[in-house]
Amino acid sequence: MHEQPSLLAALVSALRAGSIEVVDLTSPLSSSTPVIQLPPQFGQTAVFELEPISRYDDRGPAWYWNNFRSGEHTGTHFDAPNHWVTGKDLADVASVPAQRLIAPAAVLDFTAEAAKDPDFLVEVDHVRTWEEHNGPLPDGGWLFLRTGWDARSHSQEAFLNADENGPHTPGLSPECARWVAEESPVIGLGVETVGTDAGRGHSFDPAFPCHSYLMGSGKYGLTQLQNLAALPATGSVVVAGPLPIVAGSGSPARVLALVERS
């Protein structure tokens, strides 16, 4: 009599067989990775930089390694609650419970709307309509906003899409941001844009409502995601791996999705 394989053994078998696909949602991190730009009176985040320590040379004949410099919120990254003043007394990125780094995801697709209007805002009614067709948002999971914006990640200018009035990128309306933070069952919001807020978020009330409401509610953000087009509307499981930086407000992260394929 053969014993049933363990759940973990079954998972490994499915990964090897391809019946569970691993989709990388992470933007490659380099000096050309787009970074957010704030008005000049504020501090600015650093672009990613590598500083060679040795590369099979007289500084280290058999090994290659680097120091790197990066902002916590550069590239695909994880926002912890203490990133915003509303969550200043809440968790840093090192304190995020490990079990919360593996969670289901709902993917809401607004690529057509964002293509027509880069300032497109998702309202609560949009989410309700999605739930009517796909079921409720996952309890303890992620809400991912697909807008097609990852196609612009090759260019700082195209990605930020800014003019004299500021950046123009899609996101949530203030009321939807409040609802996601305070009433929905998800643990956080994931987006393809440079930050969780819409480009016009600086002019909303409150300013940057996704940051204000989500962080203040102890929820999280994932930004600059890629390849959301490869995920189903429901059913994927996301593994988000930020560095556990003590007292850090966030971290670049490798974000993977497990997708069951028939």
What is the 8-class DSSP label of residue 201?
A: G
Give Cβ neighbours of residue 60 (< 8 Å, ≥ 6 apart): 53, 54
- The catalytic position among 73, 77, 83, 211 is 83
Annotated active-site residue 2? The verdict is no
Give Cβ neighbours of residue 109 (< 8 Å, ≥ 6 apart): 146, 233
Q: Which two tokens stand for residue 214?
A: 């989500």
What is the 8-class DSSP label of residue 132?
A: H
First to last CA, the chain: 29
Q: Which two tokens stand for residue 151?
A: 């196609």
How far apart, in whole angstroms, are the C-alpha atoms of residue 161 and residue 171? Answer: 14
How far apart, in whole angstroms, are the C-alpha atoms of residue 37 and residue 156? Answer: 10
Query: Burial of 151 by CB count in 10 Å (0-12 exposed, 13-18 middle, 19+ buried)?
Result: middle
Q: How would you classify the pairing of strands 236-242 and 102-109?
A: antiparallel
- At CA 147, angle to CA 142 and CA 150, rounded to 5? 95
Q: How far are the Cα atoms of 11, 106, 110, 162, 183 from residue 148, in angstroms, in the given order?
A: 30, 16, 8, 17, 27
Catalytically active residues, by annotation: 83
